Structure 1
Amino acid sequence: MGLTGTISPDFASLKSLQRLVLANNNLTGTIPEELTTLPGLMEFDASNNHLYGKVPAFRINMIVKTGGNPDIGKDKKRFSRVQSPNATVIHPRHSGSDNDSVKITVAGSSVSVGAVSETHTVSAGESSDIQMVEAGNMVISIQVLKNVTNNFSAENILGQGGFGTVYKGELHDGTKIAVKRMECGVITGKGTAEFKSEIAVLTKVRHRHLVALLGYCLDGNEKLLVYEYMPQGTLSRHLFNWADEGLQPLEWKRRLTIALDVARGVEYLHGLAHQSFIHRDLKPSNILLGDDMRAKVADFGLVRLAPEGKGSIETRIAGTFGYLAPEYAVTGRVTTKVDVFSFGVILMELITGRKALDESQPEESMHLVTWFRRMHLNKDTFRKAIDPTIDLDEETLANISTVAELAGHCCAREPYQRPDMGHAVNVLSSLVELWKPTDQSSDDIYGIDLEMSLPQALKKWQAFEGRSHMDSSSSSYLPSLDNTQTSIPTRPYGFAESFTSADGR
């Protein structure tokens, strides 16, 4: 069959199972200990795969075949990685019939299937079916999710949002996951449609700075999404609650890198995906950090697919006060510039360490955007507005000033005055490049940094190609590669000279 993925411990729920033949595939992970509890299992054949770890202690009179797995008996847990969203998972599914056949759900398989009901034989000696579900993600049973989250215990809660609660879980092979469980009272008919829409959207969106959907579960009233686990939590945790949680405040270079990561993720949503998506609720609590402190944009429950050939939709208001663009709050009309406004607010938060809406502040300082515009009018007041935990020198201050200027343009009152996210990526990447050591990594292709935006990569590739075909005497006709990397892109047409000018943009 050429199946890939891991073996689900849910096979243990099939009490009448007598033979389980999974030989000659590309299965990975470990053999679930739960299989030893099957009372009628007489044969287990997982030979010729890529399994590892200890073989569970099956009954002494059972036939167990594990040959052809080079790493069986070896503990490779420390080398395990989060399974690819395109991988399959071998998972039993009750057919509702009284016969002994077993259905196995295989999601995201590379096998081409014409319909969900098409079946394939597991082995020559077995009459079981394999139901192929083309989804680009994994179907995970409710029982597995209950097990890995300790029955959705309060101790496993990572956070709560508008649609439900997010729990931490750990699969039997050591993979950590985040499970978003929708509240039954919240999921109406419209909510169910939105849930299915979220799945459809996320299966089409793949980017290093977007949190990946690893699986989902639809089981009666239970509706859950399974995401990759981001161990360092939200940006808001590190930006606003670092002292209470015993964390170190973020250095400016780290904040700048996070801003660039977010910009690249949103740029992909807006223009580099097959169709344009609008997030509509971009904020620090929807930005998650890995152990390397690199950022990914999360929570696509409010994403809406923009109509073909258009950049806007009209819908009910969704989002968070303090991050809402003026035109969105007033008219409900959504364009990609709504996300740009929210991103500008996040930049202001990174600079000041203050929340977008802080009711503990006096009324004139409660709204960050208004206060920030006022503080940016001159250098003295602006310097006082910068987060005091940031170590300031002249270079850092100049760097922050550039980001502040970008934040102001992103938060312009009129949508047409705001840049697109590609411009934000160019500005921020040029600032990050100033601090990046010159290191020709083996991962670079033709000297191109894979973290670059597409226009930057093309420009650098063209420069490389030009150099390789011209002798040194003609190289002076090429633009300076250093200049293209470190210079700040020109302001797009229609921008005010400064957002602190008389029109307040």
Structure 2
Amino acid sequence: MKNFHLGPRVRLRLLYLHCLIAGFVHSVHSQSSSTDASVMQALKKAINPPSSLGWTDPDPCNWGQVQCSTDKRVTRIQLGHLGLKGTLPATLNNLTALQVLEFQSNVLTGPLPSLSGLSSLQSLLLSNNQFLSIPPDFFTGMSSLVDVYLDYNQFSPWTVPDNLRTATLLATFSANSANITGSIPDLFGGDTFQSLTALHLAFNNLEGGLPASFSGSSIQSLWLNGQNGKKLNGSIGVLQNMTSLSEVWLHMNSFSGPLPDFSGLTQLQNLSLRDNQLTGPVPGSLIGLTSLVVVNLTNNLLQGPTPKFGASVQLDMSPNTNSFCKSNPGVACDSHVNALLSIAQSVGYPKSFAEDWKGNDPCPQWLGITCSSGNITVVNFQKMGLMGTISPNFSSITSLQRLILANNNLTGNIPDVLTSLVNLRELDVSNNQIYGKIPLFRTNVIVKTDGNVNIGKDGPPPATPSGNTPGGSGNGTEVSRSDGKKSSTGVVVGSVVGGLCAVFCAGLLGFCLYRAKHKRSGRVQSPHAMVIHPHHSGSDHDGVKITIAGSSANGGARSETYSHGSSGPSDLHIVEAGNMVISIQVLKTVTNNFSQDNILGRGGFGTVYKGELHDGTKIAVKRMESGVMSEKGLEEFKSEIAVLTKVRHRHLVALLGYCLDGNERLLVYEYMPQGTLSRYLFDWKDEGLRPLEWAKRLTIALDVARGVEYLHGLAQQSFIHRDLKPSNILLGDDMRAKVADFGLVRLAPEGKVSVVTKLAGTFGYLAPEYAVTGRVTTKIDVFSFGVILMELITGRRALDETQQEDSVHLVPWFRRMHINKDTFRKAIDPMIDLDEEVLASISTIAELAGHCCAREPYQRPDMSHAVNVLSSLAELWKPSEPDPDDMYGIDLDMSLPQAVKKWQALEGISGLDLSSSSILGSGDNTQTSIPTRPSGFADSFTSADGR
């Protein structure tokens, strides 16, 4: 390396420059300290401090209650509790080195000066004065602010300014009785102030609800009590996600609705909810909270049994100030009361019910209830402004004869379980927002559905620019089951046209697929194979077609099709897109006669084998246990076929074929070479695998979320998986995930509405309400998904008996570990390489997991929310080009008209011009095995949102 020598002139110039810089710095410091002295003299003149402070020295750094830095900059002014009078000078914000400013408990008045630009200020105490106003730019630039106290001042009305957002280190913001107006700002959430532990805004003029941004915040002490006019209202459900809370004061407001799940608030000691309008029962998660010291529930509309708290809890709950069924704590309510409360839950425990429904006997005069001989015979809730869904729990009132729910804002389906009401004579749901099929009631039940424009449809259509419902009609139906066939003209015409469209398109699709399959496939049908072809959801009946294929003299196949509600044979069985019949002989051959060496895994109803067809296609064959001919086994088999032939999605394992042969029942799936997610999460070391890095875990979570989202809402009907877990999540060579094992799936007959069903699933992943009551909604899958997210974060199983007793169950352990950053970091799988970016991503997913595992179903998000959260973190997926030689000739990214055109080109079909066909136009509603997408979702899976 060369040595560079500076000449004497250069060295002299550098020395001169150094002197200039040093002189400039000294000058700046001198000017700054001089400015500080000038400001302090102005302050002295404005507040006239007592002589005891010794503010006579020319240097303010020698004054009492004032501290300076070594370079004579003022850093602290601490003048609290001195009875000072006067105003504060406008030049205070020139004290740019100031760190602490205390004027609390004086008699200062006038407007507060702007303190903008005080970037070093950490502590600001101005409480208990008589300041008259606070400027809008007051907090601008206070990036070091930690504690703010503005309580008990006579400010003119003001709102918390958004410029406070720069104070990211804020730990305490206290402004009780400070005349704050408007809504609670979103900026007080955990995303902005991750260190905020105390938010005290009591006795102001706040209005509106608790912000959703509170969820996941670190707030420990929350005071919002006593707002003027009681304009703080709405739900307090967000509290369940504020797991750091120890003190909550929400009394003397207008909060309403049910109490949330408190099971995650393990540090909560003081809860004051008195003088609100809260309804519904007191949850056991609050009663059993061991940390509780003080609880105040007086003057609400709480229902159900009077809660019995522990002896150590100081309880303020005056008698007869709520709507409990009995006054004795812990005594259960009458069964009729319990039934009506469970019904009220589906409509959010309305205030009108809670105000009127008092006591332990609904029969004397409860609102909307009519009884005969002590039994409820009429429920009349018409014109009550109810919002929510029709509760399936009406079915528990077996004496019910008339159910009137007309003229409300109810959504969802009419629960099928209502057909079990043997005494029911009339059901009136007119003028609501009900959709879905009308269940088949007995012939003597009058069902009124007028004014539900989407009745008979799978779900509410998306809004159009004109605000009208596409294809909708203002005419509902009034069905008298005595004739069994009456319906409105619109429904009949729609059904006929829809059926004709479905038959036409199905026939065309089938012809194309039939020819394409026979060109490429060498598979043969078993001489005695029975194949079940379920109707698509667009068909008139939901019967199951049984096609018995056998050999004939000319080597062809004879087929007999039996369909519930059909009067004769049909050829539709040959047009089921994607269905293939594979003979038992072929399946025995490719699985080496179902050899033990070919076993991939075992499920509740059988064993899965690996196989490879003669053309190289690898398959997974699910073989039901031989000889299992019970109704349960047959229904299980039909269920898998019915679901999988209707559902096609890149993140759901595809059904390739199926067969019944004697006692053998087999389903053939696509093969997923990397096996289950369980292998990579829990068994990677034993199997010599590499542990999953966080980016792959995030992608897998997103894949699963998209698959389940499709099942819940994007498919032609809503399905519920019921057994979502890592062993039912399969991975391809590209480590992309697909949801598998639909053996426990049931078509949700009421969409997303709760239904009662046999218990299925795996402990550790079961939602509480499902495990206890057997009631099923899509939210049980959301709970299971939340558990999977926790497993992806921790690398621990949902139920791990090798752990200590208090750590066996993952969900409660995860909630405890997530309380603070230190314990949470220890909970993360040590195989994940952590940096700040990864930790931030994991923290977001941990919060999502907590929401998904909320105790109450209505407090859990939909899967679409999970997709949105995950897709914002994961790299958007750009799928590869579709395989031109795919087994079915189906590109699932194509619309139906595009697919037909492609098949026309492949097959040389020119006799039909479908490009302008009204049947296959852009507004086509034909139901096929190619899933349609609702408005608002991308037309193609390759769009930017990655769906």
TM range (shorter): 0.5 to 0.7
Q: Which residue of 2 aligns with 1:195?
A: 637
Q: Partner letter of residue 170 of structure 1?
A: E
The answer to whether the 8 Å contact 1:163/1:186 transfers is no
Q: Which residue of 1 aligns with 2:596?
A: 154
2:556 paired residue among 90, 96, 103: 103
Give the whole-Å Cα distance in 2 for the aligned partners of 1:5 and 1:351: 44
Give the whole-Å Cα distance in 2 for the aligned partners of 1:334 and 1:393: 40
C-alpha spacing 1:335/1:103, structure 2 compared with 1 (3 Å)? same
Residue-by-residue CA offset, 1:124-173 (whole Å, 9 max, x unaligned): xxxxxxx8474741111111100110000000000001000000000000
Give the whole-Å Cα distance in 2 for the aligned partners of 1:460 and 1:210: 17
The answer to whether the 8 Å contact 2:513/2:575 transfers is no
Q: Which residue of 2 aligns with 1:38?
A: none
Structure 1 residues 421-500: aligned runs within 5 Å? 421-433=863-875
Q: Which residue of 2 aligns with 1:448?
A: none
Q: Which sections of structure 1, spanning at least 5 residues, go unmatched?
A: 7-23, 35-85, 87-91, 107-113, 120-130, 446-452, 465-480, 486-505
The sequence identity of aligned pairs, in percent, is: 75
**Residue 27 of structure 1: how far off its partner (Å):** 4.0
Structure 1 residues 355-434: aligned runs within 5 Å? 355-433=797-875
More helix per residue: 1 or 2? Answer: 1
C-alpha spacing 1:157/1:25, structure 2 compared with 1 (3 Å)? closer
Q: Which residue of 2 aligns with 1:82?
A: none
The answer to whether the 8 Å contact 2:513/2:577 transfers is no
Give the whole-Å Cα distance in 2 for the aligned partners of 1:214 and 1:260: 24
The answer to whether the 8 Å contact 1:206/1:212 transfers is yes
Give the whole-Å Cα distance in 2 for the aligned partners of 1:256 and 1:26: 38
Give the whole-Å Cα distance in 2 for the aligned partners of 1:397 and 1:105: 62
**Residue 30 of structure 1: how far off its partner (Å):** 7.5
1:279 aligns with 2:721: yes
Give the whole-Å Cα distance in 1 for the aligned partners of 2:720 and 2:636: 15
Give the whole-Å Cα distance in 2 for the aligned partners of 1:224 and 1:309: 28
Q: Which sections of structure 2, spanning at least 5 residues, go unmatched?
A: 1-507, 525-535, 537-547, 560-566, 883-892, 895-932
1:176 aligns with 2:618: yes
Residue-by-residue CA offset, 1:22-49 (whole Å, 9 max, x unaligned): xx976444869x9xxxxxxxxxxxxxxx
Structure 1 residues 324-335: aligned runs within 5 Å? 324-335=766-777
**Residue 94 of structure 1: how far off its partner (Å):** 3.5
The RMSD of aligned alpha carbons is: 3.7
Q: TM-score, length-normalised on structure 2?
A: 0.36
Residue-by-residue CA offset, 1:159-213 (whole Å, 9 max, x unaligned): 0010000000000000000000000354412210221122111111111100000
The answer to whether the 8 Å contact 1:117/1:132 transfers is no
Give the whole-Å Cα distance in 1 for the aligned partners of 2:517 and 2:558: 16
1:292 aligns with 2:745: no
Give the whole-Å Cα distance in 2 for the aligned partners of 1:279 and 1:421: 13
Residue-by-residue CA offset, 1:232-256 (whole Å, 9 max, x unaligned): 0000011111111111000100000
Give the whole-Å Cα distance in 2 for the aligned partners of 1:368 and 1:341: 13
Q: Which residue of 2 aligns with 1:69?
A: none
Give the whole-Å Cα distance in 2 for the aligned partners of 1:456 and 1:234: 33
Q: Which residue of 2 aligns with 1:264?
A: 706
1:244 aligns with 2:711: no
Q: Partner letter of residue 743 of structure 2?
A: G
Q: Which residue of 1 aligns with 2:114?
A: none
Look up the SS of the partner of 1:179 in the other structure. strand
Structure 1 residues 204-353: aligned runs within 5 Å? 204-308=646-750, 310-353=752-795
**Residue 424 of structure 1: how far off its partner (Å):** 0.2
Give the whole-Å Cα distance in 2 for the aligned partners of 1:332 and 1:341: 14
Give the whole-Å Cα distance in 2 for the aligned partners of 1:308 and 1:273: 14
The answer to whether the 8 Å contact 1:93/1:103 transfers is no
How many positions carry a matched residue from both structures?
Answer: 363
Q: TM-score, length-normalised on structure 1?
A: 0.65
Give the whole-Å Cα distance in 1 for the aligned partners of 2:612 and 2:705: 30
Give the whole-Å Cα distance in 1 for the aligned partners of 2:747 and 2:632: 16
Give the whole-Å Cα distance in 2 for the aligned partners of 1:364 and 1:344: 20
Residue-by-residue CA offset, 1:456-479 (whole Å, 9 max, x unaligned): 866999xx9xxxxxxxxxxxxxxx
Please tell me whether Structure 1 or Structure 2 has the larger radius of gyration of its CA atoms. Answer: 2
Residue-by-residue CA offset, 1:227-279 (whole Å, 9 max, x unaligned): 00000000001111111111100010000000000000000000111111000
C-alpha spacing 1:442/1:146, structure 2 compared with 1 (3 Å)? closer
C-alpha spacing 1:262/1:187, structure 2 compared with 1 (3 Å)? farther
Look up the SS of the partner of 1:217 in the other structure. strand
C-alpha spacing 1:246/1:28, structure 2 compared with 1 (3 Å)? farther
C-alpha spacing 1:396/1:248, structure 2 compared with 1 (3 Å)? same
Q: Partner letter of residue 299 of structure 1?
A: D
Q: Answer with 254-263 or 304-313: which moved more.
A: 304-313
Give the whole-Å Cα distance in 2 for the aligned partners of 1:260 and 1:238: 16
